Amino acid sequence: DAKTTQPPSMDCAEGRAANLPCNHSTISGNEYVYWYRQIHSQGPQYIIHGLKNNETNEMASLIITEDRKSSTLILPHATLRDTAVYYCIVREHTGNQFYFGTGTSLTVIP
Amino acid sequence: DTAVSQTPKYLVTQMGNDKSIKCEQNLGHDTMYWYKQDSKKFLKIMFSYNNKELIINETVPNRFSPKSPDKAHLNLHINSLELGDSAVYFCASSPFRTGANEKLFFGSGTQLSVL
């Protein structure tokens, strides 16, 4: 099942960077780190994923530590619409399952 | 057009009834899933189908029977509904069965309430 640990909740001021941590100390060499988010009453939405290099796209940046035991999702300029539950998932690239943990509930404050 | 659509959005029914939830994706994906999100918001995979073939069944009671008439559809039929079946059910699809770039695309969910 879920192999990640995330803080249950976080607050962030609007316009500031939101840094969401995730621990995955048992990650293996062929497992990727994925981030999804779920805005209230909607289905989860893909944000970003990576293996060992840092990744950036139009939504966020993903910073993975050198030992790959933890990562941080960065939303550079949080807006009120970023209020959601953020899920960190580790998954083998040949696996079929995405196991969601309990996630971090991020609240962006005006 | 909605990429992954599921109907109905809300379903209220009595214990013991049989109900179905439909899911369709127009993304041309090979793999489709059903997830259940309970009242504690824990999102748990139930089934996965690849090209109409069942590839994951996560110890779901056999009252739940997925049906995939073609790779664009994965319906969920539930027999003899119980109070504990009340939850939000999400359908999802992904473009590849395996692969590093596999991403899940979710529908908007069906809120099932069993009275």
Which residue, chain included where needed, has tokens 């013991």?
B16
Tell how far CA B94 is from the center of its chain: 13
How far apart are the C-alpha atoms of B114 and A71, rounded to whole Å?
A: 40
Q: What angle do CA B90, A71, B93 make, to 5 degrees?
A: 20
- Torsions phi, psi of A105, nearest 5? -85, 110
Query: Is residue B56 over pLDDT 80?
Result: no
Q: Which chain B residue has its CA at the smallest distance from A43's CA?
A: B108
Q: How far is A48 from chain B (nearest CA, A)?
A: 9
Q: Report chain B's mean pLDDT, rounded to a whole number.
A: 89
Q: What is the pLDDT of residues B67-78, one digit of tens each?
A: 999 989 999 999
- Predicted confidence at residue B51, as pLDDT, reads 79
Mean pLDDT of all residues in A83-105 = 84
Contact A19, A71 (CB under 8 A): no
Q: How far is A109 from chain B (nearest CA, A)?
A: 22
Q: How far is A6 from chain B (nearest CA, A)?
A: 14
Q: From A107, A110, A98, A108, select the one nearest A43 (Cα to Cα).
A: A98
Amino acid at B89: Y
Mean pLDDT of all residues in A62-78 = 96
**In chain A, what's the furthest Cα-to-Cα distance?**
42
How far apart are the C-alpha atoms of A99 and A44, rounded to whole Å?
A: 12
* A96 reaches B (C-beta below 8 A): yes
Which residue, chain included where needed, has tokens 């809300």?
B10
- Predicted confidence at residue A95, as pLDDT, reads 61
* A9 reaches B (C-beta below 8 A): no
Residue B101's pLDDT band, with cuts at 50, 70 and 90, is low
SS3 B85: helix
Query: How buried is residue B40: exposed, middle or buried, by Cβ count under 10 Å (0-12/13-18/19+)?
Result: exposed
Residue A57's pLDDT band, with cuts at 50, 70 and 90, is very high
Q: In the 8-state DSSP scheme, what is residue A80?
A: G
Chain B residues near residue A85 by CB distance under 8 angstroms: 41
